[in-house]
Amino acid sequence: MKTYFRLLSFAKPIEKFAIPYILTTILYVVFNTLTLALIAPLLTTLFSKDVDKKIVLAAKHWYNFSDQYNYYLHIAKQDYGVVGTLQFVCAIIIISVLLSNLFRYVSQRIMENLRIHTLLNLRRAVFNNVMNLHLGFFSNERKGDIISKVASDVQVVQFSVTGTLQVVFKEPLTLIGYLVWLFIISYKLTLFSVLVIPVSAFIISKIVRRLKQQAVESQKSYGNMISYLDEALTGIKIIKAFNAVDFIKNKFDSENVRYSRIIKSMAKRQQLASPVSEFLGVSMIAVIMLYGGTLIASNKLDPALFITFIGIFSQIMRPAKAISDSFGNIHSGVAAGERVLALIDEKPMIVDAPNAVPIKEFNNEIKFENISFAYNEKLVLNNINITVPKGKKVALVGPSGGGKSTTMDLIPRFIEPQSGSILIDGKDIQSLTTESVRDLMGIVNQESILFNDTIYNNIAFGKPDTTLAEVEAAAKIANAHEFILATENGYQTNIGDRGSKLSGGQKQRICIARAVLKNPPIMLLDEATSALDTESEKLVQEALNNLMQNRTSLIIAHRLSTIQNADIIIVLEDGRVVEQGNHAQLTGNNGVYKRLIDMQSFSND
């Protein structure tokens, strides 16, 4: 229940919905019960000819509903006749049904608004926290599983948890309303009847007792399927190239079969509840008719009232069944809710200190002091000391796995060091707000990160007030303007999923144009040309040179053409700085850098 009430907190302010819902539901129950109760006067008016002598004494028996009902019906027939009384009763029934359905509709609309409100808050909380999580989280989690939680699980929580609210209030209130009228008609018959209701509820609850466990299994299986689908679509070229289509098909199909089997089992249990409930209901009514018939035969119950009793009692099983079924829905909702809350509760590693202040300008240098960093206890950086002066081009080079990308990721606080400090203009970045630190930086990665949108929106990403002239100016600096104009709709051309309609060089130049438009004082370039052919590399390198003018740049690259003009070249090996200097100095040292250059020259030959 702790999980349930926490999920319910996303419905706040719940009183905005609860108060009008309670009022309209009470009115619905009153008029709905009244409609059924009016069956008795309708039947008596149609079929009763004689009136018992005791009617004249009915006023004294105020506690006896049957006597009171017969008395006032007798008066009405005397005053208005049979037809007039029949018209009056029918008119009351129509008005009662109208009001009952009106208030039911209003209450349902209120509950639907509550569902949508809860879904909005819950999905917002999940997505916002996912966006705040550190990059390491996404390396360990399946993307499909995250999508499943944000899309599917949240939907289950919405319908089951908020739907249970409806059942918890409306159905018990309806049940109470029916029971009150049944006791008024005949307390003996009612006491006899209600003894069998718990039996039905117990049997149905036993049927659905495993639904929680199955709901958890189904949600995990669904998440796996989404993950397999995402991986298949992302890697479709590799899958076909390695003739692995059948393998991927079988992998997805086996999970699909497992998911279908779980859903089939859940549906079997859920659907079994209805016929079992109907059988039990009919059996109970048959027993009640037997007992009620004996009361009529002994003149202890009016036939019209007995028919009314049967009509009302037949409706009791509906709210009783709904209450029983709600336990299965709660199980499903709580199971999904636990997965959603786990994502909401995932704590971001990067959190601004309470006294963090923004930094608006970069005036001096970036400095690494005694930085150490480890992934799962594996030391990646060991006592790193680096200085990146303002306006200089600093290149990080070294063997694969030496710690270059990790070093760069520390500057925008994608990750945090285990020890040491990173200073910007002498201020520890942990004392600065993360947002303001990242505002100082433009980033171009090896992988071109683009969105399924227009070229204009991809360049203007994160700057919604940008003008077309500004976007065009950035594209010209990035050597992208000409090929953009050659596309079908120019800057309004949609580039497809992940920029699939563009070549590798074109995608990278769009990313560079995006960085140019941001106009940051610090540029971080991580293998920005390594995945390009020679012709594309030339255009992209020229765009990068334009981008780095008058900016502080930290560059990770292997190609000589990219790093030989750097002001400072820092060589990392096994997480340590082993050499530092410019190209001429390092080639004369006959060290790691010289070895890397010789290897590259050999491979180029």
The pLDDT value given to residue 532:
62
Instruction: Looking at the structure, tell me whether residues 332 and 423 fall in a common domain.
Output: no
> How many distinct structural domains can be found in the chain?
2
Nearest alpha carbon to residue 234 among 497, 464, 20: 497
Are residues 382 and 575 in contact, defined by beta-carbon separation less than 8 angstroms?
yes
Instruction: Looking at the structure, tell me whether residues 60 and 172 fall in a common domain.
Output: yes
Nearest alpha carbon to residue 44 among 25, 70, 64: 70
Instruction: Looking at the structure, tell me whether residues 294 and 382 fall in a common domain.
Output: no
- The answer on pLDDT for 178 being more than 50 is yes
**More reliable by pLDDT, 525 or 446:** 525
Please state, in angstroms and rounded to a whole number, the distance separating the CA atoms of residues 283 and 289: 10
- Characterize 363-399 residue by residue with b for buried, 16 or more Cβ atoms within 10 angstroms of its Cβ, and e for exposed: eebbbbbebebeeeeeebbeebebebeeeebbbbbbb
Please state, in angstroms and rounded to a whole number, the distance separating the CA atoms of residues 50 and 84: 17
Q: What is the mean pLDDT of residues 182-209?
A: 70
- The answer on pLDDT for 170 being more than 90 is no
Quick one: tokens of 404?
């270059």
Q: Residue 45 — pLDDT band, cuts 50, 70, 90?
A: low
Instruction: Looking at the structure, tell me whether residues 332 and 404 fall in a common domain.
Output: no
Q: Residue 493 domain-assigned? A: no
Are residues 472 and 491 in contact, defined by beta-carbon separation less than 8 angstroms?
yes
- At residue 535, φ and ψ (nearest 5 deg) are -65, -45
Pairing mode, if any, of strands 419-424 and 576-581?
unpaired
**How are strands ordered across the β-sheet holding 365-375?**
378-389, 365-375, 419-424, 427-428
- The answer on pLDDT for 205 being more than 70 is no
Q: Residue 563's Cα: distance from chain center in Å?
A: 45
The pLDDT value given to residue 65:
56
What's the 3-state SS for 349-373?
CCCCCCCCECCCCCCCEEEEEEEEE
Instruction: Looking at the structure, tell me whether residues 310 and 386 fall in a common domain.
Output: no
- The answer on pLDDT for 367 being more than 90 is yes
Q: Residue 53 — pLDDT band, cuts 50, 70, 90?
A: very low
The pLDDT value given to residue 435:
86
Instruction: Looking at the structure, tell me whether residues 80 and 190 fall in a common domain.
Output: yes
- For CA atoms 466, 469, 474, 478, the dihedral sign is positive
Q: What is the DSSP letter of 560?
A: H
Name the percent of the chain in helix, strand, coil, to the closest 5.
65, 10, 20
Q: Which residues neighbour 500 within 8 Å (Cβ) at sequence distance 6 or greater?
A: none
Please state, in angstroms and rounded to a whole number, the distance separating the CA atoms of residues 310 and 289: 8
Quick one: tokens of 113?
């608004």
Give the residues across from 373 on adjacent strands. Answer: 381
| Radius of gyration of the CA atoms of the chain, in A | 37
Q: What is the mean pLDDT of residues 40-59?
A: 53
- The answer on pLDDT for 68 being more than 70 is no
The pLDDT value given to residue 370:
93
CATH code of the domain in which 267 resides: 1.20.1560.10
The pLDDT value given to residue 570:
93
Give the residues across from 428 on adjacent strands. Answer: 423
Q: Residue 341 domain-assigned? A: yes
The pLDDT value given to residue 328:
57
What count of other Cβ atoms lies within 10 Å of the Cβ of residue 94? 11
- The answer on pLDDT for 433 being more than 80 is yes
Q: Residue 473 domain-assigned? A: no
Instruction: Looking at the structure, tell me whether residues 265 and 127 fall in a common domain.
Output: yes
Please state, in angstroms and rounded to a whole number, the distance separating the CA atoms of residues 369 and 308: 87
Q: In this predicted structure, which of 86-95, 263-272, 575-584 has the lowest mean pLDDT? A: 263-272
Task: Give me the percent of the chain exceeding a pLDDT of 70.
Answer: 81
Nearest alpha carbon to residue 600 among 394, 407, 398: 398
Burial, 561: exposed, middle or buried (Cβ in 10 Å; 0-12, 13-18, 19+)?
exposed
Instruction: Looking at the structure, tell me whether residues 128 and 272 fall in a common domain.
Output: yes
Burial, 269: exposed, middle or buried (Cβ in 10 Å; 0-12, 13-18, 19+)?
middle
Q: Residue 457 domain-assigned? A: no
Q: Residue 516 domain-assigned? A: no
Q: Residue 209 domain-assigned? A: yes
The pLDDT value given to residue 604:
47
- The answer on pLDDT for 1 being more than 80 is no
Burial, 470: exposed, middle or buried (Cβ in 10 Å; 0-12, 13-18, 19+)?
middle
- Tokens 């009351």 correspond to 92
Q: What is the helix (H) or strand (E) element at residue 95, kind and residue range?
A: helix 65-132
Instruction: Looking at the structure, tell me whether residues 335 and 400 fall in a common domain.
Output: no
The domain boundary, picked from 345, 377, 400, lies at 345
Are residues 497 and 233 in contact, defined by beta-carbon separation less than 8 angstroms?
no
The pLDDT value given to residue 106:
92
Q: Residue 448 domain-assigned? A: no
The pLDDT value given to residue 62:
46
**More reliable by pLDDT, 523 or 311:** 523
Instruction: Looking at the structure, tell me whether residues 329 and 387 fall in a common domain.
Output: no
Q: What is the mean pLDDT of residues 563-569?
A: 87
The pLDDT value given to residue 536:
67
The domain in which residue 254 lies consists of 2-345
The domain boundary, picked from 345, 374, 407, lies at 345
- Is 302 strand, coil or helix? coil
Q: In this predicted structure, which of 56-60, 93-97, 355-359, 377-381 has the lowest mean pLDDT? A: 56-60
**More reliable by pLDDT, 276 or 406:** 406
CATH code of the domain in which 396 resides: 3.40.50.300
Nearest alpha carbon to residue 303 among 29, 49, 31, 59: 49
Give the residues across from 494 on adjacent strands. Answer: 454
Mean pLDDT of the residues in the chain: 79
Instruction: Looking at the structure, tell me whether residues 141 and 98 fall in a common domain.
Output: yes
Q: What is the mean pLDDT of residues 342-356?
A: 80
Q: In this predicted model, what pLDDT tens digit does every residue of 242-300 receive, in sequence order? A: 677 888 888 888 888 988 888 888 777 767 766 776 777 677 777 777 877 887 788 77
The domain boundary, picked from 290, 312, 345, lies at 345
Q: Residue 484 domain-assigned? A: no
Nearest alpha carbon to residue 348 among 128, 512, 567: 128
Instruction: Looking at the structure, tell me whether residues 302 and 428 fall in a common domain.
Output: no
Please state, in angstroms and rounded to a whole number, the distance separating the CA atoms of residues 207 and 545: 70
Q: Where are any strands of DSSP class E within 218-332? A: none
> Could you give the C-alpha distances from 62 to 38, 58, 78, 233, in angstroms and in order?
19, 7, 21, 76
- Is 442 strand, coil or helix? strand
Please state, in angstroms and rounded to a whole number, the distance separating the CA atoms of residues 490 and 301: 86
Q: Residue 485 — pLDDT band, cuts 50, 70, 90?
A: very high
